[in-house]
Amino acid sequence: MGQIQLNQVTKSFGDVQVIPPLDLTIEDGEFTVFVGPSGCGKSTLLRLIAGLEDITSGHIAIDGKDATDVPPAKRGLAMVFQSYALYPHMSVRKNIAFPMRMAGVPEDEQKRRIEAAAKALNLTDYLDRRPGQLSGGQRQRVAIGRAIVREPAAFLFDEPLSNLDAALRVGMRLEISELHKRLATTMIYVTHDQVEAMTMADKIVVLRAGNIEQVGSPLELYHEPRNTFVAGFIGSPKMNLFDGAEAQKHGATTIGIRPEHIDVSKTEGTWKGRVGVAEHLGSDTFIHVHDTGLVDMVTVRITGDIAARHGDEIYLSPQLDKLHKFDAEGLAIR
C-alpha cells in the first residue's frame, strides 16, 4: 500500500522559496511522473517525499500516516538515483542485499529475493561482479534490483535514464513500465523528458518554478492543456502558439495548434508560407514553415510523403476543432 499525500508542503533554501505551498495526492499503485524544465523543483519535490530534504512547512503522509518527521530510512520508500548510486566496494549481490540486511531479513529469504530479482532483471550472471565492471544499463538494473527486493510502499525514480544512450533508454523505459504493471506498486518518476512522461505515466504532474501547472493523464494533458506552458511543454514537436490578430479572430489572446492538426496543401489554405527545413523520420515528416506572417516558424507534421522542397510555397489550414484558445493570463478558454 502506498498512497502519498502532500498537504501545503513548502520548501525554502535560505530566503529562496523553491516550492510554494503545494497539495498533491498520489494514489496507491499509480505511476506518477513529475515533469518540467530543469530547475522547476521536480527533483526537490521527490527528495522531500523521500525525506532526504526536510520540508519547510506542511505535512507529508504516506499510507495515511504522517511521515513529515520520519527519517528516510523509516519511510519504507525505495529510490533509484540518476547516478545509480551503487556501493562500489560491494558485489552486485551485496548491493542488492544491503537494504534487506539493514531491515534484518533472514538470510535464506534474502537469498530467495536476490535470485528472483536477478532473474527478473537479467543479472544472474553478474551477481559476483562489482558495479565498476558493469555497463550503464546493467548498473541501472542493479539499482532497480536493490529497490525492488525490499518491497517498498513506493518507488522513487530520479531521472534514472538520463545517463543511458538513446537505444538503452527506450528498452529500460519499457522494463520499468512492465515492472510497474507486474508489481502494481506506487511509483513516482522524475524526468525532464516529456516523451518518458507521456509513455510511462498514469498521471503526469507538470511543474514550473515549484508550482503545479497541471495534473492529469497523458492524454488529458495532450488534449486539454490548462495553460500555454503545459500546451507548449507536452507534445513533440511542440504545439504552435500564436498571439495577435490571428488569435483575436478566434476570440482569444493566444491560440495553439499542434503540428499534427494542420492540413497541408500546395494550392490553397488559411495561411501561406515558405518551406524551410523538412525532417524526414520515415513514418512522419516535420516541415518547418516560415514567412507565414504569424510567428517565425510553424511546425507541421504530415504522415507519408509530400514533395516539399526548401523554398517552396505551401498552404496551411488548421483543423478548427483542434484549436486551443488561451486568455490573457495564458489559461485555456473552454
Partner 1 sequence: MARSATTKRKVINTTAAWIVGLLIFFPILWTILTSFKTEAQAIADPPIFLNFDWTLENYGVVMERSNYMRFLWNSIIIAGGSTILGIIIAVPAAWSMAFVPSKRTKDILLWMLSTKMLPAVGVLYPIYLLFIKLGLLDTRLGLTIVLMLINLPIIVWMLYTYFKEIPGEILEAARMDGASLREEVFYILTPMAIPGIASTLLLNVILAWNEAFWTLNLTAAKAAPLTAFIASYSSPEGLFYAKLSAASTMAIAPILILGWFSQKQLVSGLTFGAVK
Q: What is the side-by-side strand order in the sheet with 16-26?
A: 16-26, 4-13, 57-62, 65-66
Taking contact as CB under 8 A, which single stretch among the options 36-44, 67-75, 120-128, 257-265 is the one that binds partner 1?
A: 67-75
Which residue in the set 63, 98, 195, 238 belongs to the binding site for partner 1 (CB under 8 A)? 98
Q: Between 77 and 123, name the residue whose CB sits nearer to partner 1.
A: 77
Which residue in the set 16, 38, 74, 245 belongs to the binding site for partner 1 (CB under 8 A)? 74
C-alpha cell, 53: 530534504
For residue 35, the SS3 value is strand
What amino acid occupies position 192?
H
Q: How many residues bind partner 1 (CB under 8 A)?
A: 24
Taking contact as CB under 8 A, which single stretch among the options 60-68, 71-79, 190-198, 317-325 is the one that binds partner 1?
A: 71-79
Strand (E) or helix (H) holding 190: strand 186-191
Question: Which is it for strands 203-208 and 31-35: parallel, antiparallel or unpaired?
Answer: parallel
Find out whether the peptide bond into 21 is cis, omega within 30 degrees of 0.
Answer: no
Q: Between 67 and 212, name the residue whose CB sits nearer to partner 1.
A: 67
C-alpha cell, 284: 512522419
Taking contact as CB under 8 A, which single stretch among the options 72-80, 164-172, 193-201, 209-217 is the one that binds partner 1?
A: 72-80
Taking contact as CB under 8 A, which single stretch among the options 80-88, 198-206, 210-218, 259-267 is the one that binds partner 1?
A: 80-88
C-alpha cell, 222: 495532450
CB 233 within 8 A of CB 256: no
Taking contact as CB under 8 A, which single stretch among the options 55-63, 81-89, 199-207, 290-298 is the one that binds partner 1?
A: 81-89
Which residue in the set 12, 65, 89, 277 belongs to the binding site for partner 1 (CB under 8 A)? 89
Q: How far is the CB of 30 from partner 1 (least distance, A)?
A: 20
CA-to-CA separations, 207 to 180, 192, 204, 213, in angstroms, rounded: 23, 10, 10, 6
Separation of alpha carbons 304 and 249, rounded Å:
32
C-alpha cell, 267: 494550392
DSSP bridge partners of 313: 274
Which residue in the set 39, 69, 102, 171 belongs to the binding site for partner 1 (CB under 8 A)? 102
Question: Which is it for strands 271-280 and 313-318: parallel, antiparallel or unpaired?
Answer: antiparallel
Which residue in the set 81, 290, 291, 306 belongs to the binding site for partner 1 (CB under 8 A)? 81
Separation of alpha carbons 105 and 170, rounded Å:
34
CB 72 within 8 A of CB 154: no
Q: How far is the CB of 217 from partner 1 (least distance, A)?
A: 29
Binding residues among 20-59 for partner 1 as defined by CB under 8 A: 50, 52
Binding residues among 127-146 for partner 1 as defined by CB under 8 A: 146
C-alpha cell, 253: 489572446
Q: Does 18 bind partner 1 (CB under 8 A)?
A: no
Taking contact as CB under 8 A, which single stretch among the options 96-104, 169-177, 197-205, 206-214 is the one that binds partner 1?
A: 96-104
C-alpha cell, 159: 531521472
Which residues sit at the interface with partner 1, rule CB under 8 A? 50, 52, 71-74, 77-79, 81-83, 85-89, 98-99, 102-103, 146, 150, 156
